Structure 1
């Protein structure tokens, strides 16, 4: 019982002291706020706060200490539409690779924003994780006909895609 009384007394006394705010202006004209009285002898204003006082209802700062700042809102820069093109492969191109390697290079009409990524689709399925790089090195791809496209994703949604390119991979058989 003694401990409960001590804890309650400590909490109540801490909240009483925390309700007083001291404010003063230094010699450079800078306004200070503190929960303890300053050591300087200059004029100090004491503000008593009720438990429900919030930033919106706090006492106003005197006019001479208010600094006027420009009221510009941060504007979202409108991005131009993204277009993707595969630069190193031609439609119905034949690629000869004994190891089954295909390199895919792309160009974008603008840089990717922070939450945008590129995903290569090989035969309609994702190849590797989404990335910000515009280059892919496909390895050990089976011989035959393949469809390649690159899509841009923003927050998981498709925002752009390259034309689908059909390539033919010739690879010697290992029979």
Structure 2
């Protein structure tokens, strides 16, 4: 029985090799062969046409605007939250935290890095809450990047904000 099954399977794997014939042998078993046996009525087996899929040309994925490189991972959402844009941020000692909204979750080995006034700030982290310390009063810009080592993979929109530091005499 196994040789018959193998023959049947091979008939589906190599349909272009030869015509397949179906017949009933002397014991009453249905059999398949690529040649009609002598003295037995064999019927040709019509196989359905093979599925053909035309090869599509490869299209290049979009490039990353930070370093003009191919992106390693696409994050649908990457933005800073927790910064006031319509009023000044009151931080008397210049220390405050910002949150990063990122979807999907940050994937290893990617890290988050802040850009304060266009320059990298602090250490990269995998935690989406980042602290800024002793920031001077006045207007600043802040963005967050997803980095892999030193390579920036993606960058959030830049947020402009004002730090208000009040010194008491």
Structure 1 residue aligned with 2:59 = none
Q: Which runs of 4+ in 1 moved over 4 A?
A: none
* Pair 1:91-2:88 in alignment: no
Aligned length: 98
Question: Structure 1 residues 147 and 80 mapped into 2: Cα distance closer, same or farther (>3 Å)?
Answer: closer
* Pair 1:131-2:125 in alignment: yes
Question: Structure 1 residues 79 and 149 mapped into 2: Cα distance closer, same or farther (>3 Å)?
Answer: closer
* Greater mean alpha carbon deviation, residues 96-105 or residues 163-172: 96-105
Deviation sequence 1:82-108 (CA, Å, 0-9, x none): 531112124354111211122110111
Structure 2 residue aligned with 1:116 = 110
2:156 counterpart (133, 139, 162) = 162
What secondary structure, in the 3-state scheme, does the structure 1 residue paired with 2:166 have?
Answer: coil
Question: Structure 1 residues 159 and 101 mapped into 2: Cα distance closer, same or farther (>3 Å)?
Answer: same
Tell me the TM-score normalized by structure 2: 0.51
**Structure 1 residue runs without a partner (length 5+):** 1-77
Tell me the TM-score normalized by structure 1: 0.50
Structure 1 residue 111: Cα displacement: 1.7
2:137 counterpart (118, 139, 143) = 143
